[in-house]
Amino acid sequence: MCVRCLDLTRRSLLIGGGAAAAALHTGVASARIRPADTVPLIGPGFKPTDEDEKGLWHDMDRVEEEIADTNLLVTDPNITGYLRELIGTVGGPAAKDFRIYLMRIPDFNAMMFPTGFAVVFSGLLLRMRNEAQLAGVIAHECGHFLRRHEIRSWRDQRRKTDLFSIGAMLAGIGGAGAGVYLGNYVQLAQLGTLLSLFKYSREMEAEADAMSAKLIAQAGYDPMEISTVWLQLIGEEQASAAYRGKHRQHGSLFDTHPSDDARMADLRADALELKVPGKVYNDYRERYLAAIGPIRPMLLDDQVKLNDPGASEYLLQTLAQDGWNGLLRFYEGEVWRLRNRPAFHDEERAAQSYAAAVVYPDAPADAWRWHGIFLLKEGRTAEAKAALAKYLAMKPGAPDAPWVRQVIG
C-alpha cells in the first residue's frame, strides 16, 4: 500500500494500546448496580430448555454427586438443617429448589453451582458474627442462580471467543491480502477479549451483591450487615499481610470479583437505599450462635492450626467485639503459644490468655490443662495442681490423664 504504513502501524498501535489501557483502567471500578434493578430471572422449579444450558446441568449432576459424599462434608444434622432453613428463607423464588453443603475447609468462601446447589466453607461460619451476615453471603450465592449468571457468563465467553477467532482469521487473511502484518493488533485484541471476560465476571458479582442486600432486607435482616462482612474481611487480610511483612493485594484488571473495598462501599449504599424507615431489622445473633455453638471449637481449632497468627488474632478480636468468653480466650492463648516468639513474649501472653479463659464458665478442658502447665512452669505448684485436677475432672479419658495424675501426685 504505502511506504509509511509500518511507521503508522506502530504509532497507531501505541495510541490504540494507550486508549485501550485507559478505557480498561476506568473499567476496574464499574458503576454500582441498584438492588431494585436485580429482578429474579427464574421462578420456582426451574429446568433448562436450551441445549447449552441442558449440557451444563447434565455435567453438574456428577459434580453434585461427588460433593454430596466427599469426606470433607460436615454432616451434623443440626447445622446442615439450619443452613437449609436459612437458604430457604433468603433464596427468593427458587428457595425450595436449593441444596446446600457445608465443607470443612477453614477459609472464607461460598459458591453456587449452575444447577442450584451451594457449597459453604466452614471458615465462613467462623467469620460470621450473626445470622444476618451469613444470610447475606448465602443470598449473594442465590443471586447468582436467580440471575442465571453461570449460563450468561458461559454465553458471553462463547460469543467473545467466537468473535475473536473470526476477527483474528480475518485480520490474518486481510493482512495477507493487503501485504501488512496485523499480528500485534491480534494480540492486543486477545488481551482485550480476556480483560472483557474478567470485567463481565466482576459485573455479575456486583449484581449478586446488590441482589443479596435486597433478598435479606425482604427477609427482615439488616442489609447493612453484608457490608460489615467485607469490612471484616479487609481487616483480616490487612492483619494477615502485615504480620507476614507483605502488602494486602488490591484490585486488578484480572480479578474475577470486584475489590473488597468497592464491594463494601456499594453494599453500604445498597443498605441505605433499601432500609425502610420504621421497619425493624434484626441480626439474629443469638440464634446464630446457638446453631454454630457445637461446632465452634472445631472452627476455631482449624483456623488456629493454619499457622496464620495475624489473621487468627484479628478474627478472635473481631468475634470478641460481641464479648469475650472462655472459648475465644483459650484460642487466643493457642495463637500465642503456637507462634512462640520470645521477642514478643508469646509465652507470657499465652499464659495470660489461658488464665483469663478459665475465669469464664465455658472454658474448655484444654484451657485448664494449659493454665495448669504454665502455672507449673512459673513454680506455682499448688495452683497448678488445682487447675490440672479440674482438667482431669472435665476430661477423665484424656490421652495424657496418667501423666497428669502423676504430676498431681
Partner 1 sequence: MRKSGVALALASTVGLGACVQTRQYADVQFTPPQGEYKLLVLRPDVTVGSLTTGGMIEPRAEWTDEARANIVAALKAQQASRGGNVTIIEHRNALPGVPEQELADVERLNFVVDESIVEHKYLGDYLPTKRGRGLDWTLGADAVKLGRQSGYDYALFLHAEDQVASKGRIALGLVGLAGCFIGFCAPNIGGAEQLDYASLVDLKTGEVVWFNVVDAASQVPGIKFGDLRTPEGAAQMVERLLGRMKPGQDVRSEKARR
Cβ proximity to partner 1: between 115 and 130 the closer is 115
Cβ proximity to partner 1: between 12 and 165 the closer is 165
Closest CA to 128 of 259, 367, 321: 321
Can you tell me the distance from the alpha carbon of 157 to that of 52, in angstroms, rounded to the nearest whole number? 13
Q: What is the DSSP string of 269-295?
A: HHHHHHPPTT---B--HHHHHHHHGGG
Locate 157 and state its grid cell: 465467553
Question: Phi, psi at residue 100, to the nearest 5°?
Answer: -140, 130
Can you tell me the distance from the alpha carbon of 138 to that of 351, in angstroms, rounded to the nearest whole number? 39
Contact between residue 176 and residue 2 where contact means Cβ atoms under 8 Å apart: no
Cβ proximity to partner 1: between 116 and 223 the closer is 116
Contacts by residues 28-32 (CB-CB < 8 Å, ≥ 24 positions apart): 28/251, 28/252, 28/253, 28/255, 28/259, 29/251, 29/258, 29/259, 29/262, 30/199, 30/202, 30/203, 30/206, 30/258, 32/206, 32/210, 32/266, 32/269, 32/270
Chain contacts with partner 1 (rule: CB under 8 A): 51-52, 54-59, 62-63, 65, 69, 71, 154, 157-158, 160-166, 169-170, 172-173, 175-177
Number of Cβ atoms within 10 Å of the Cβ of 391: 26
Residue with cell string 451451594: 118
Question: Phi, psi at residue 349, to the nearest 5°?
Answer: -60, -45
Closest CA to 317 of 303, 306, 307: 303
Cβ proximity to partner 1: between 180 and 365 the closer is 180
Cβ proximity to partner 1: between 51 and 247 the closer is 51
Cβ proximity to partner 1: between 62 and 279 the closer is 62
Least gap, CB of 138 to partner 1 (angstroms): 23
